[in-house]
Amino acid sequence: MHLDDGRRVFVKAAKAPHTARWLRREAEVYAHLHGSFIAELIAFEDDPVEPLLVLEDLSEADWNVRWDAARVATVCDALASIAASAPPPNTPSVREILGDFGRWEVVEADPGPFLSTGIRSREWLDRALPILKAAADSAAVDGDDLLHLDIRSDNLCFRDRTAVLVDWNWCSTGRADFDIAAWLPSLAFEGGPKPWEVLPRAGDMRFSWQASGPRSSDCRHRGRRRRSATSSGASWRSHSRGPSGNSLSPRGGCRVHLVVSSRPGRLGRAAGAQPSPVAPQPRAKANCRERPLAGGS
């Protein structure tokens, strides 16, 4: 949108109660968090029915999905800066956010949507659920670092050799490495490095994120992109043994990595835009744990 003074801005509107709640939370974050990793807040109109969030325009930034070691490192640098920032008011803990998602308990109550993705069998799920639930509950995700908690290619762009993140409604506090762990399945799906190459000491964090145990609505409506990213996450959990040496590979003791057959695509920035194909890129090698991150060990 163009303003009378010639500036171009991005306007984000909410038309449902839950999206209005998310937009108000975003406005709170934008008002209190500052740095090269976040867009500038221009204005916020807190209409009781349809609130409006006005941000600086980022359309000239680089939104292309192209992962190499330098870009992965740039995102890691942004996450380190975020982790070291003071939390905005009313910032919940990551445990509170994960509790809202439901995780593996939702899959246990209604396994149909998860099984419909085809990434794992019913036999695997029956065997793995107790292990996954225990690992998610005990994962070392707690901490005082600030997290974005929704890192993926359609929520970030590159400008002046820095990564700028959008969609801050899940902003929370926890262990800094968890922001990276939550990002890695979609990164691998889009041609980036394997999760265990970026975060080799993830421990049980790889069992905790929402992509590990999608809500039923996610499985039904997110489609190919969600299914493929979840498949990448499943491969990560199968890459090494689960808690107490329990195997989580699809076929018992042997490790089998899934091959994602669908072509990667990124979501359009405008409402109703169609995903555009992403050309396969040479696999990048980057290790975020070689870079200093607050809260990591």
Tens-digit pLDDT profile for residues 128-184: 899 888 888 888 889 999 999 999 999 999 999 999 999 999 999 999 999 998 899
pTM across the whole model: 0.73
Question: Helix H segments across 102-158?
Answer: 104-109, 112-116, 122-138
Model confidence at 232: pLDDT above 50 = no
Maximal C-alpha separation, the chain: 65
* Cα dihedral 265, 270, 274, 279 sign: negative
Tell which CATH classification among 3.30.420.40, 2.60.40.420, 3.30.200.20, 3.40.47.10 matches the domain 1-57: 3.30.200.20
Mean pLDDT for 1-10 is 83
Strand 41-45 and strand 52-56: the pairing is antiparallel
What digits encode the pLDDT tens for the residues 82-98?
Answer: 999 999 999 999 989 88
Mean pLDDT for 107-115 is 90
Backbone angles phi, psi at 91, to 5 degrees: -80, 120
Q: Write the single-letter amino acid at 89.
A: P
Domain boundaries, the chain: 1-57, 62-290
Q: How far apart are CA 73 and CA 278, in angstroms?
A: 20
44 versus 128: the higher-pLDDT residue is 44
As to burial, measured by CB atoms within 10 angstroms (0-12 exposed, 13-18 middle, 19+ buried), residue 66 is middle
Q: 54 to each of 4, 27, 81, how far by Cα in Å?
A: 14, 9, 24
